[in-house]
Amino acid sequence: MLTRPTDLTDVAVRAAVEDGWGVDAISLVYRPVGFGSHHWELRDAAGVRWFATVDRLGVAPDASRRRLEAAYRCAVHVRNTGCESVIAPVPTMTGALLVALEADYAMALFPFVVGQSFAWDDFSTPHHRSEVLDLLVAVHRASHPEGTVVVDDFVIPHRRLLERSSAPDGPGPYSAAAGSLLAAHRDAIGRALDRYDRLGSSNDVPQTPWVVTHGEPHPGNTMRTDAGWVLVDWDTALIAPPERDLWWLDAADDAMPEQYESATGYRPRRWMLDRYRLGWDLADLGVYARRFAGPHGDSDDDRKSWSEMQRLVNRLSD
């Protein structure tokens, strides 16, 4: 997130890292990167750098924690089966992957990765896209982890807000504008939801293989290091059809389906790629609608969310 949480201090972050992982952080700096989790860079007495990721668990903290733990366990499993390109969380001294903090936050700790990072936008070059496809092929070939896993249910979060096409009046500066925006585009949003449902109901999903998926393998979650390309930010990992990852690499003039089929024997289905692409936009729109239906302010994160909400509505209306 761009804005650090006001109800979580550096003292609490430092204490959680020491209690959970035995890391004595002599310095820590909040890093306004990504959008969804909060991040701190830490350095211990030996000069080793670490990267702490903190998520607010929200209104259903137990369910959110189980989902986050399962996602991180997927990452650890895939890395332990030989995919060193997976930057997985470091287990605590007791073997857990998360440590609870105050105010319903949960923390994971990662090794600090040194390398070239990229913006969220399109892949910089065809080579970049090709390297990420190779990473995904390796991830998809991994076995499913034992124990609790989360399987994609294709549910659009906060769908009722989108179907109602108006955000309830909330105690924040963007509530009225968000409600007006959704109401003005009610028909377009409804058509997008109907299309999403038709893409799923008119085809045979069970025939598709279900694999470990990263969920968000966009350029911003890739890095180029001296040892090769890596995938970071595994908090959305799920067991799902491979198209959940592959639509990010798909383009009208791209040979991705043929390349993936050559590597795995499975040819990605166009309808499933389209469904995940549309589902991503609808899911983000639902999250923004929920944000502005509740208490919020006018932080950098709120302003970015409002800008993204307008962009998504306009795109769905084209």
Number of DSSP helices (H) and strands (E) in the chain, helices first: 10, 10
Closest CA to 306 of 296, 183, 283: 296
Count CB-CB contacts under 10 A for residue 221.
Answer: 22
| Structure-token pair, residue 63 | 């369910």
For residue 100, the model assigns a pLDDT of: 93
The mean pLDDT value for 269-292 works out to 94
User: Could you read off the pLDDT of 207-242 as tens digits, one per residue?
Assistant: 789 999 999 999 999 999 999 999 999 999 999 999
Contact (CB, 8 A) for 272 and 203: yes
For residue 164, the model assigns a pLDDT of: 84
Share of the chain above pLDDT 90, in %: 79
CA-CA distance, 295 to 287, in Å (whole number)? 14
Residue 243: which residues within 8 A CB-CB, separation 6 or more? Answer: 208, 268, 269, 272, 273, 275, 276
Closest CA to 71 of 17, 119, 141, 139: 139
Whose tokens are 């109800």? That residue is 7
For residue 203, the model assigns a pLDDT of: 58
- Sign of the CA dihedral with 219 first, then 152, 75, and 89 last: positive
Is residue 122's pLDDT more than 80?
Answer: no
3 state SS of 101: strand
Band (169; pLDDT cuts 50, 70, 90): low
The mean pLDDT value for 287-304 works out to 92
* Window from 7-21, 203-217, 267-281, 291-305 with minimum mean pLDDT: 203-217
| Structure-token pair, residue 251 | 């383009």
Band (168; pLDDT cuts 50, 70, 90): low
CA-CA distance, 178 to 106, in Å (whole number)? 29
Share of the chain above pLDDT 70, in %: 95
Instruction: Annotate 188-199 with b (16+ C-beta within 10 A) or e (fewer).
Output: bbeebbeebeeb
CA-CA distance, 98 to 82, in Å (whole number)? 23
For residue 103, the model assigns a pLDDT of: 75
Is residue 251's pLDDT more than 80?
Answer: no
Count CB-CB contacts under 10 A for residue 162.
Answer: 24
Band (250; pLDDT cuts 50, 70, 90): confident
User: Could you read off the pLDDT of 26-78 as tens digits, one per residue?
Assistant: 999 999 887 789 999 999 999 999 999 999 987 788 889 999 999 999 999 99
Name the H helices within the chain.
Answer: 10-21, 61-80, 126-141, 159-164, 175-184, 186-201, 243-246, 256-264, 270-293, 300-317
